[in-house]
């Protein structure tokens, strides 16, 4: 199993475990805000999932595919990694926006660093009581806006996410270099 997927799974289950069922929008936004903060502070995201600019804000693509698969949607993109994520959650509810996610297992805390957990906890605390609209509006930052204006449902650039977090020029250069290295190695 790919290390990136194990980390994504751990972060997803960590967020879900903080609630007795959590809606998908809240889950996606908590992960986005935590990822953005971690990127700004440490120069790397918590999860290496691509975020896309959808109408209600950033959505992590692999996690969204896993949620759709867990919902039993026929159009869900399926790979072994997506199936692994989907098998770790239960998604129930009446429609896409009201789906609630439950974890089938505890998060593997060996996959999450102390700094990951700090940023996830901060994001959970700051987002748990916000309304759907407040979460959506808060996530419509520079990175989302740039991607959305380019084309709705387009991929958000990691450097734009970092800029939305207010990173320094030095940190931006570091993130760019790391992204280029990751691209070469993948």
Angstrom distance (rounded) from CA 49 to CA 88? 17
Residue numbers of the domain that contains 178: 3-185
**How many angstroms separate the most distant Cα atoms in the chain?**
46
pLDDT tens digits for 3-34? Answer: 999 999 999 999 999 999 999 999 999 999 99
Task: Work out whether the CA dihedral 22, 44, 140, 34 comes out positive or negative.
Answer: positive
Return the H-helix or E-strand segment holding 30. helix 24-42
> What pLDDT does 179 receive?
92
pLDDT tens digits for 54-82? Answer: 999 999 999 999 999 998 886 778 899 99
Q: What is the pTM of this model?
A: 0.95
Tokens of 157: 């650039």
Q: Is the pLDDT of residue 44 over 90?
A: yes
Q: How many structural domains does the chain have?
A: 1
């Amino acid at each position: 199993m790919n290390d990136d997927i194990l980390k994504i799974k751990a972060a997803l289950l960590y967020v879900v475990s903080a609630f007795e069922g959590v809606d998908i929008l809240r889950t996606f936004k908590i992960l986005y805000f935590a990822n953005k903060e971690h990127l700004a502070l440490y120069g790397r995201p918590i999860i290496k999932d691509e975020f896309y600019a959808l109408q209600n804000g950033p959505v992590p693509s692999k996690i969204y595919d896993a949620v759709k698969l867990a919902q039993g949607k026929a159009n869900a993109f399926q790979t072994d990694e997506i199936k692994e994520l989907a098998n770790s959650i239960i998604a129930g509810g009446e429609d896409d926006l009201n789906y609630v996610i439950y974890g089938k297992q505890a998060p593997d805390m060996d996959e999450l660093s102390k700094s990951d957990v700090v940023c996830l906890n901060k994001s959970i605390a700051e987002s748990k009581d916000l309304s759907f609209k407040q979460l959506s509006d808060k996530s419509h930052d520079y990175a989302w806006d740039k991607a959305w204006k380019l084309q709705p449902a387009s991929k958000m650039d990691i450097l734009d996410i970092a800029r939305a977090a207010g990173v320094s020029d030095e940190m931006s250069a570091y993130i760019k270099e790391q992204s280029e290295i990751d691209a070469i190695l993948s």
